[in-house]
Structure 1
Amino acid sequence: MTTPVWPPVFDGHNDVILDLYRPKPGEERDFFHASPYGHLDLPRARAGGFGGGFFAIYVPPPPAPKPPPEHIPSPPYYMPLPPPLEHSYALHTTMAMAARLFRIEAESNGQFRICRTADDIHACLTNGIVAVVFHIEGAEAIGPDLDELEVLYQAGLRSLGPVWSRPNIFGHGVPFAFPASPDTGPGLTDAGKALVKACNQLRILIDLSHLNEAGFWDVARLSTAPLVATHSNAHAICPSSRNLTDRQLDAIRDSDGMVGLNFAVTFLRPDGHRDADTPVSIMVRHVQYLVERLGIDRVGFGSDFDGALIPQAIRDVSGLPVLLQALADAGFTPAELRKLAYENWLRVLRLTWGA
């Protein structure tokens, strides 16, 4: 029996930079050596056919004497929103984490490249170079005058989530809650609406994955770009506040945008439980549902590697072929798998970035 040759995977979201910047005690690692910790490093990326993706800069809260619990409790649950961050702290931390991303590129001997156009990504995928989109998750580092946005764009920023799950000057994220609607509060502030317009002008992708429903509809009304949720799932299957309702999915379809499948078990499972013994079949079910609602050209992957508990059968980035095989077994053709793996991301980025 011949081993299948899978397409490279370009992925909508990972948090490896956070894990490298602030590792858990005893779990220090670097990007260039295989590690038993976390999900993503260069050797495991090569093993799993990971061609690149959105590398998120997410600013964690300042270290506290008694850190909040990391684990989502058993359903039903409602975790209050974390408090807002100070701008100076968020800016300093964003700069430090972005510097870590740039250092990896500089030290990679040409194996890791920050891309500014879809053509750059295509060239990297063709030549076996890890293609990187500089993404910020939560815009606390940006002030109301948006000066930092201009500077970050010149540094390579090409994707921005206006909020994570805590409020900021631009809008409100969804709390982690199950079962729950994403309709959890007010929409974008005036500063948030200005941010959307500025991102459109600069052709920065606006990521909707952590935005609450009112904010989602504000972006849908204001934005001239395709609507994109880089790492979200179907609320009809898993009624988490983080997932997208059918009405939201329809709006994404109508804008010619896309959704990246989140691998987090709490956003996959119909029961919302945090259990690694989650079958890959539920990932396939979400993909099938998203494709049915959005069309085959508007669905991809948004793993949340290094930011979530994922199914044990996948384990880490080296397990991507397990998902591709499951999708093939479910009837997805080689041409459709190429779309899911990377072609759809290239399509929507060309529409958004213009190149």
Structure 2
Amino acid sequence: PPPKTIEPTITSPPLTTEPTIQTRSENDGFQLELAALSFLSETVSVEVYRSQLLESESLFITTATICKDLKSSPLRSPAADLFATLAPFAPRKSAKDCFCAEAFVSIFGSMLNTAATECKGSQKKSRMTKIRSENKSASHPDLCTVLATAVSGLECIFDDGTAETKGDLITSMSTLLLELVKAVNQKKSYFPVKGQGLLACNITSFFLSHLGDTQLTGKLLSHDLLIASIRLILLRNNAPQRGMEDILDDEAFMWKAAETHVLQYLSVLLRNDLLKEESGSTLASLLEKAEAKLTGTTKLMPPPLGKRSIESEEQESSPLESEFIQVLRIIVGDATNSAGSVAASRLLRWISFTL
């Protein structure tokens, strides 16, 4: 008879510990979702895919829920980006199984209104300063960038909101800009939160693009908003004194753009006949209040290289002259910022007629 075959036996060492179950860590737990949201944003450029996205009720509800949850979550930023990318293609009127522009206005509005409400509730410490601790982890995208995306998404669909909704949104954005200026002005040395410059840039650009809306004139002539806008110019041009020269290149670029936007809309708003009626203040009192609470010892930056003047004769600044006027004179001579220079010149001319 053939010899018996002996099957090899494999013995396993005894288990000394309980088997471990692999779980997703906080840092890599949303990689699939992040990739999916990024992919969907890229498909918006294709019309047939875009239409399917706009008709997907489940996608809209899920993404809206993520966007409106302002607690730290790595999904907020890509979700807001997806909606901001889709918003310009949303139909202006309601259609069957399709979400209209007004729905997107509502989502972005909810994000901004919630953030503004939180800012108002923070009395002792700037909300923009407090969220710095939330941004230390790479898994927690910062609030400022998400809100900046919401403002950007609103720009081309803002007119589809109701008059009440639009008024509330201007108020919320004003509150956020006030909070940004407050964060910069809190200490002699400025330590930026990532995205602050982008948020300031987007909000000021939004205000500039809606100057012609007479229904919003009163909101834009708000006493607090005008003071914060003037103070932003003063803080930006006293940058070395407060440490703003050390901010990241991208942030510095955005703050410079915000400064130009503010100069442009102030050159219109401060010349408005309704200034005193809507803000309750004269130009002189606005300048006085804006300069009153600046932190540290103010020290003007030296004139930039390539200085030039678009005025026929450059006036010497008086020691008692408003600091804002002195700053405007410096900006007029900045050959690297033509739009800001022209706006500053208009402001100087108007101030010379008023003060």
TM-score (norm 1): 0.25
The structure with more strand, counted as a fraction of residues: 1
The structure with more helix, counted as a fraction of residues: 2
TM-score (norm 2): 0.25
- Structure whose alpha-carbon radius of gyration is higher: 2
